[in-house]
Amino acid sequence: MAARAPDPMRRALLRGKAQPSTVIRPPWALAEPEFLDACSRCNDCIDRCPEQVLAPGSGGYPVFDPLRGECTFCGECASACSTQALDRQAVRPPWHWIADISGDSCLAQRGVVCASCQDGCGERAIRFQPALGAVPTPIIDATRCTGCGACVGLCPTQAIALKNMPWKESSDAT
């Protein structure tokens, strides 16, 4: 097996000189330090993803880009991972990301009728709050949202981003 190229990001993280990344790793990724240690940057997960929503990120490590489309949680990426950096056998959810709407950018919250995000959500995690004499505005139901990212690319103003929810992680552990 070829020697792995030095990776400054991993070195900095292990020395405590860098914060764990806030990038979105593929589903079922190990916690960031363990992921960086295990991932060989082979790109097998990227190549296997039928939705083509994975791409090489900083240092060549794979990231999920919701602007490319939706993760269907098909598991192909994890099946392709020979190092178990993506570990689908672990009894835990694929990740803890959920959609988050920025009020400043959302058309509906600025008084313009729009429901593109709701149309794309197969989980029915986005509902619109009616208001007398005002345009209904979207609300994310955190208990239903899987963080699939389908709504992110559909929003015409890029008002939606995926946000990590550590509270979900701790509640899963109980």
Which stretches of the chain bind ligand SF4, using CB under 6 A?
Answer: 26-27, 48-49, 51, 53-54, 64, 71-77, 99, 101, 106-108, 114-117, 120-121, 123, 125-126, 138, 140, 145-151, 155-157, 159-160
Residue 77 CB, nearest approach to ligand SF4 (Å):
3
Residue 145, φ and ψ in degrees, nearest 5: -65, 130
Residue 147 CB, nearest approach to ligand SF4 (Å):
5
Residue 174 CB, nearest approach to ligand SF4 (Å):
23
Tokens of 77: 């990426």
Residue 14 CB, nearest approach to ligand SF4 (Å):
26
Output the CA–CA distances (angstroms, integers) from residue 55 to 33, 40, 149, in the order listed.
19, 14, 15
Of 30 and 108, CB closest to ligand SF4: 108
Of 1 and 68, CB closest to ligand SF4: 68
Of 36 and 160, CB closest to ligand SF4: 160
Of 13 and 147, CB closest to ligand SF4: 147
CA 145/CA 96 separation, integer angstroms: 10
Tokens of 113: 């009728």
Q: Is 48 helix (H, G, I), strand (E, B) or coil?
A: helix
Tokens of 81: 């991972």
Continuous H helices in 40-164? 44-48, 76-80, 116-119, 150-154
Of 6 and 130, CB closest to ligand SF4: 130
DSSP 8-state code for residue 128: E
Residue 59 CB, nearest approach to ligand SF4 (Å):
19
